[in-house]
Structure 1
Amino acid sequence: MERKEIVALLRDEQNQQALFDRADTVRREECGDTAQLRGVVHFSNYCCREDLYCGLLKSNTKTKRFRMSEDQIVETALGIAESGLRTVVLQSGEDYHYTRESLCSIIRRILEQADVAITLSLGERPLEDMRAFREAGASRYLMKHETMNPKLYSVMRPGLRLKDRLETIRALRELGYQVGVGNIVGLPGQTIEDLAMDIEFFEEFQPDMINIGPFIPHADTPLRDNPAGDPELMLRVFALARIVTRNTHLAAANTVATLLPEDGQYRAFVQGGANVVMPNCNPFRKSKADKIEYEFQITTQKRYVTIDEARNVLRRAGRTLADGKGDSLKMQGGSFD
């Protein structure tokens, strides 16, 4: 698509149902009526970055920080496998407390005991770290680019450059990872043209997975007084991402459920062409109070979807749980059988 066409579709509120219908058709043709559940182990909320939109930013002194031990991470991952999910996502803030050696050990221990795929979402690490993680058995890496506007990127992520992020994303592909990217819809200062550049990037890069989420203002960040992202615009971004990437795995982030608690992820599936949900699987589940406390430790004002809730989303959307580990359809030549 040309940028002017993308911009026009992003702005067209009156005829968005036609866009949604097209995205759903592409999803059905390219990905089938199955969907992926990927269990997330969020093992640390420490972070060395100062991302203005993120409640984990280093200067936030109100967040109760935690780190899981190596044994806790492995045990949680094995619990995910026992529940029937075939992908484990190891996710944290950008936390260098975990060394290359410790993370490689965690990856190996999980794979020795469970037949799963491991996705990493750890932020930017040295190239040698990411090579070692790949050699240890991790096969996927999720690194959202956040926005393709370089000025906005540097404002939102002080001291960092979009150019460096994109170089890292491309290096991940060269290392043999299935690579996930993604953007935030509704960042303060973001324009429709910025979102069109995100769609162009999706079309050019053809990632193995995309994770799209709305901006959600966090009470303990500098952006606390800004409005949340527009849910309808977000869904149009979903739909266009599906159309231009065809068979890329498209995830409805937990922030989608935060923005639209009743039906956000359902709408991302039936209107936006999504086919992946990543439920939170951390072990702090002894009581409702424990769950609330754990979620507060990660970030306030964010809803974390459980495995049962994710299964309900699939049922409501008329999808069945896919067999296998959910590898990239692009690497499989487009077959979803």
Structure 2
Amino acid sequence: MSSLKYIDELAKNREISAYKLEKILADDECNEYLFALANATRKQYAKSEVHLKALIEISNICQKECFYCGLRKPNKELKRYKMSAYEIIGYAKQAASSGYKTIVLQSGESQAFSDELMCEILREIKNTGMQITLSLGEKSYKQYLMYKDAGADRYLLRIETTNKALYKKFHPNMSLKNRIKCLVNLKNLGYETGSGLLIGLPGYTYKIMAKDLLFLKKYDFDMVGIGPFIPSKNTPLSNEKVANIKLVLKANAITRLMLVDINIPATTALESIDRQNGRKMALLSGANVIMPSITSGKYHELYSLYPGKFRLDMSVENTYKNFNDMLFDIGEKVSLSNGNSLRYNERMGL
């Protein structure tokens, strides 16, 4: 039976059962209809504008052992690095002068940067007038508060999956309960809070995926990043299969229909799988954010979450221009706003 009626129900009510979500996920005959509806919804709320946010990968040092990630602590083949405050602030200033409205600081989960140093970096970047997104992993409530007071505006902490068995299997010595606690703390502190999923892990089913998507709806996030599993060398999952890109696009589209006014990045991993069309397909199925890496080659190659990570070998300014031109070609334009999601602005009365 066609799942078109379930898609229409979701688009109308913004609510749906796990059972019906499973049917949509399993039915590839409805894909184009689902993508078109999500794209129309994005345009209704985002007005054919896409946020460009400059990503700086500040360190690949990580204390976690996640089975799927090339940065995992047991990977002894990886040369580790930590940028200096001078380098990070320099990249941020280049981004600001090139037209970016948001800087994203991403790293492995560690204490490579002291809280005092991180706060100094945040205060300096804030002086450029840009919004700051952090993706530094699990921290304490006190640390999140310090970063917020120093100028951080947003925080991205992907849940990856809410299935207890899979989470425990692929995240040794980590706690799903604590991950959720961190997300709740971030929301309570007034961050524009983002989470997300990793689609296609071994053992991942439509049933698990449906529940994961409903988790995103339940917690009413402002940002959602959904990426494909890509096997990385020197990890326990190095011989597994790459995720189905269509399933990632379906997750993007369903998320857009459930949470119509949030920000959804077209993740770099999609373009790593499909160099020609990955990001474009994501934008045409509900995404409205692009986060190009502006990290220089010597560091970018070492930030190896997965193999073949897409990067443009260009200056910060030309990277911005490249994506501006790409968006123009598909009838979109770069947003000149500060990059907040409409949902966050409404909730905060901005």
TM-score (norm 1): 0.93
Match of 2:200 among 183, 186, 192: 186
Secondary structure of the corresponding residue to residue 8 of structure 1:
helix
C-alpha contact (below 8 Å) 1:206/1:248 kept by paired residues: no
| Cα gap change, 1:129 to 1:37, in 2 (>3 Å) | same
- Residue 309 of structure 1 and its aligned partner are, at CA, apart by 4.2
Tell me which of 32, 39, 42 is aligned to 2:57: 42
- Give the Cα separation in 2 of the matches to 1:207 and 1:317: 28
- Residue among 150, 167, 172 paired with 2:164: 150
Deviations 1:175-227 (A, max 9, x none): 11000111011111111111101210122122111111100000121100000
Q: Tell me if 1:333 matches 2:346.
A: yes
Counterparts of residues 113-192 of structure 1 (less than 5 Å): 114-192=128-206
Cα separation, 1, equivalents of 2:259 and 2:69: 27
Q: Which amino acid aligns with 2:76?
A: T
Three-state SS of the structure 2 residue aligned to 1:297 is coil
1:47 Cα offset (Å): 0.3
- Distance in 2, matches of 1:150 and 1:156, equals 10
Instruction: Give the Cα separation in 2 of the matches to 1:259 and 1:196.
Output: 23
Cα distance in 2 for residues equivalent to 1:141 and 1:211: 12
Partner of 1:287: none
Matched, 1:31 2:51: no
Task: Tell me how far apart the structure 2 counterparts of residues 32 and 150 of structure 1 sit (CA, whole Å).
Answer: 38
Query: Where does residue 273 of structure 1 map in the other structure?
Result: 286
Q: RMSD of aligned C-alpha atoms?
A: 1.6
Give the residue type in structure 2 aligned to 1:301: G
| TM-fit CA distance, 1:316 | 3.1
Change (3 A) 1:110 1:221: same
Distance, in Å, in 1 between the alignment partners of 2:326 and 2:173 is: 39
Aligned-residue offset at 1:63: 1.2
Matched residue SS, 1:5: helix
Residue 331 of structure 2 corresponds to: 318
SS at match of 2:28: coil
Give the number of aligned pairs: 326
SS at match of 2:221: coil
Cross-structure match for 1:298: 303
Instruction: Give, as a single letter, the amino acid of the residue that structure 1 aligns with 2:270.
Output: V
Cα separation, 1, equivalents of 2:38 and 2:138: 32
The Cα offsets for residues 145-179 of structure 1, whole Å up to 9 and x where unpaired, read as 10111211111111112111011101100011000
Please identify, of 55-64 and 300-309, the stretch whose mean Cα deviation from structure 2 is larger: 300-309
Deviation at 1:295, TM superposition (A): 3.0
1:95 partner amino acid: S
- Percentage identity across aligned positions? 33
Whether 1:91 aligns to 2:96 is no
Select 1:242's aligned residue among 234, 241, 256.
Answer: 256
Q: How many Å apart are 1:304 and its aligned residue?
A: 2.8
Q: Which amino acid aligns with 2:34?
A: L
CA contact (8 A) 1:180 1:209 kept: yes
- The one of 213, 217, 225 equivalent to 1:211 is 225
Deviates more, 1:311-320 or 1:214-223: 311-320
Return 5+ residue gaps in structure 1 as ranges: 285-290
Runs of 4+ in 1 over 6 A off after TM superposition: none
Q: Secondary structure at the match of 1:183?
A: strand
Counterparts in 2 of 1:97 and 1:295: CA distance versus 1, 3 Å: closer
3-state SS, counterpart of residue 250 of structure 1 = coil
Number of the residue aligned with 1:58: 73
After superposing the two structures, state which structure 1 stretch, 179-188 or 305-314, moved more: 305-314
Distance 1:39 1:156, change over 3 A: same
Query: Any idea what SS the aligned residue of 2:134 has?
Result: strand
Q: Which residue of 1 aligns with 2:211?
A: 197
One-letter code of the match for 1:192? Answer: Y
Letter of the 2:259 counterpart: T
